[in-house]
Amino acid sequence: MSSEEKDRRPVVAVAGATGFVGVNLLEALQEDYEVVGLTRSPTRAAEKDDNGVEWRHCDLFAMDQVEAALEGVEYAIYLVHSMLPTARLTQASFLDLDVLLADNFARAAERNGVKQILYLGGIRPQDDELSRHMLSRLEVEAVLSARNVPTTALRAGLIVGPGGSSMRVLVNLVRRLPMMILPSWTTSKSAPIAIEDVVRAIVRCIGNADTYDQHFDLGGPDLMTYREMMKRTAEVLDVKRPMLNTPFFSPRFSTAWVATFAGVPRALVGPLIESLKHSVVPEENWLNDWLHDTEPRTFEDALLRSIREDGKPVKNPRSKLVKSDKSKIREAATVRSVQRLPLPEETDAAWATDEYLRWLPRFMWPFIKVVVRGAVVDFKLGLFGLILLELTHRKELSRHDRQLLEITGGALAKVGGSHQGRLEFREVNRGRALIAAIHDFRPKLPWYLYNLSQALVHLLVMKAFGWHLGKVAGPGAVKPLLPRSGSVSPPAPRKPPAGSQPPPPKAFEEAHPG
């Protein structure tokens, strides 16, 4: 090994680098690593950064961009959650968006030979019925672990630090409400942990083979209820807040008043409030013991660093760009539609794509005809022959478990420019489910008319196709992403064998022989 190779520092990429945890993590990594920050925002990526971070613009929904962004990366840290919109119209649950993003990241890491994926999720509560927020984090962990890259999952409850959205909610509620009416979820327990300790745990795990394919719960030194957190917050702010307990738990009401008084979007608050009904107590493990043995920050210490002298919460230094990003999303007028569908046994995404092209004209008869011309697929208005949508199969970017068709023309779509519309079918978590997704679609119809017509028709079609696949699959074939047990370990490899090159869909065989 040459001296140059010995001196070369490992390359670490951080997805979600402009978020609360990412901003705090970047600084800690720079002394020992070459740091790559991934961001979907061109505005953020264009910022001049004086602290040595290499910024790479990356839309995590675009597989080719994720692969390019992880080129040359040895360790990849995943801090992404998709509870805020990325298109003017989003037809999807945040659970399905999270699964799709994680699958893109894991595939790209595998193809680039990344040595380790590190993921920060949430502690699994002991309750049998998980909230959507908790389920999403565990599903992401499972999807990241399903590829051939060692994965380390860190699970934490409330993270306390400057710029954190949860901290902003807590501080603003205590600061703005003269009296605290506490619903039943405030009796749930958590072990809030300082952002500095979360960062220390992540750094400790990078390249540590003892953490590969393992998960670790993280928590601070104090276990307390959310009521106790509010009480301690009031003491730190030096305000008196009478507290009245109520036995009721109404997620809708809680979401409304928290969003109103905390100044946080409902899309972000809703899933968080729903998950607060769970107590999240970290299980013992050597990593959390190490944190506690090395002077972890108390809740009050972390809280003091999270508020300004006037008592207002410290903001993420990059949050000022969110407003401009939202305006660009609106100006682009794009559509993202993601649905999770059942996948019959002994089939794959290539089969599902072919089946969709066979099934659609039967379901939409006599209004829609599907004509395959080599690699081009035309969706025609049956009575008049007008091409409504033209899609081109991208064979070079497709695999047996993922098929990609770009929207290249038609009377209903705008094409060209910086946003390339596309339709994809993909397996996630080694065939446990099928994702059907439309990305960056730009309708030609006026926006209000599109929402009342084409958008609704698409949802109806995908719901019907899912019903069709479930009927083809037979009873019991619709499998959840997570195993039925509490484990989130990846399932055994599914057909076809690793390294094989299965044939493309039959609809494209004639145009692509061999």
How far apart CA 285 and CA 122 sit, in angstroms, is 15
Q: Which of 278, 308, 327 is the last residue of a domain?
A: 327
CA 466 to chain centre: 22
Start-to-end CA span in the chain (Å): 43
Can you give the pLDDT at residue 328? 57
Both 307 and 345 in one domain: the answer is: no
CATH number, position 302: 3.40.50.720
Both 316 and 340 in one domain: the answer is: no
Both 174 and 31 in one domain: the answer is: yes
Percent of the chain's residues with pLDDT above 90: 49
- On whether residue 2 sits in a domain, the answer given is no
Write the single-letter amino acid at 303: L
Name which residue leads in pLDDT, 162 or 206. Answer: 206
CA 231 to chain centre: 33
Can you give the pLDDT at residue 506? 44
Can you give the pLDDT at residue 507? 44
- Mean pLDDT calculated for residue range 218-230: 91
Q: What is the pLDDT of residues 322-363, one digit of tens each?
A: 444 555 555 568 999 999 999 988 888 999 999 999 999 999
Q: Which of 283, 298, 327 is the last residue of a domain?
A: 327
Both 94 and 215 in one domain: the answer is: yes
Segments forming the whole domain that contains residue 321: 10-327
pLDDT of 206 > 90? The answer is: yes
pLDDT of 63 > 70? The answer is: yes
Both 130 and 72 in one domain: the answer is: yes
How far apart CA 140 and CA 481 sit, in angstroms, is 9
- On whether residue 1 sits in a domain, the answer given is no
CATH number, position 427: 3.30.530.20
Both 258 and 109 in one domain: the answer is: yes
- On whether residue 372 sits in a domain, the answer given is yes
pLDDT of 397 > 60? The answer is: yes
Confidence of residue 84 (pLDDT cuts 50, 70, 90): low
- Mean pLDDT calculated for residue range 240-268: 69
Percent of the chain's residues with pLDDT above 70: 79
Mean pLDDT of the residues in the chain: 82
Both 321 and 341 in one domain: the answer is: no
- On whether residue 463 sits in a domain, the answer given is yes
Q: Considering the entire predicted model, what is its pTM?
A: 0.85
Can you give the pLDDT at residue 321? 46
* Domain tally, the chain: 2
Can you give the pLDDT at residue 498? 34
Q: Encode burial over 311-339: b for 16+ CB neighbours within 10 A, e otherwise.
A: eebbebebeebbeeeeeebeeebbbbbbb
80-94, 131-145, 310-324, range with the lowest pLDDT:
310-324
Q: How many Cβ atoms from other residues are within 10 Å of residue 11's Cβ?
A: 18
Confidence of residue 87 (pLDDT cuts 50, 70, 90): confident
Most confident of 85-89, 207-211, 509-513: 207-211
pLDDT of 376 > 50? The answer is: yes
Q: What is the pLDDT of residues 453-501, one digit of tens each?
A: 999 999 999 999 999 998 886 544 444 344 333 333 343 343 333 333 3
- Mean pLDDT calculated for residue range 69-85: 89
- On whether residue 253 sits in a domain, the answer given is yes
Both 286 and 366 in one domain: the answer is: no
- On whether residue 227 sits in a domain, the answer given is yes
Both 121 and 151 in one domain: the answer is: yes
- On whether residue 514 sits in a domain, the answer given is no
Q: What is the pLDDT of residues 416-458, one digit of tens each?
A: 876 789 999 999 987 788 999 999 999 999 999 999 999 999 9
Both 222 and 293 in one domain: the answer is: yes
Both 416 and 486 in one domain: the answer is: yes
Beta-sheet strands, E only, within 59-124: 75-78, 89-91, 116-122
Name which residue leads in pLDDT, 469 or 382. Answer: 469
Can you give the pLDDT at residue 204? 97
How far apart CA 101 and CA 59 sit, in angstroms, is 9
Name which residue leads in pLDDT, 486 or 33. Answer: 33
Q: Which of 304, 327, 350 is the last residue of a domain?
A: 327
CA angle 24, 29, 33 (to 5 degrees): 160
Coil vs helix vs strand at 197: helix
Question: Which spans in 179-265 are helix H?
Answer: 195-205, 226-237, 251-262
Both 37 and 98 in one domain: the answer is: yes
- On whether residue 309 sits in a domain, the answer given is yes
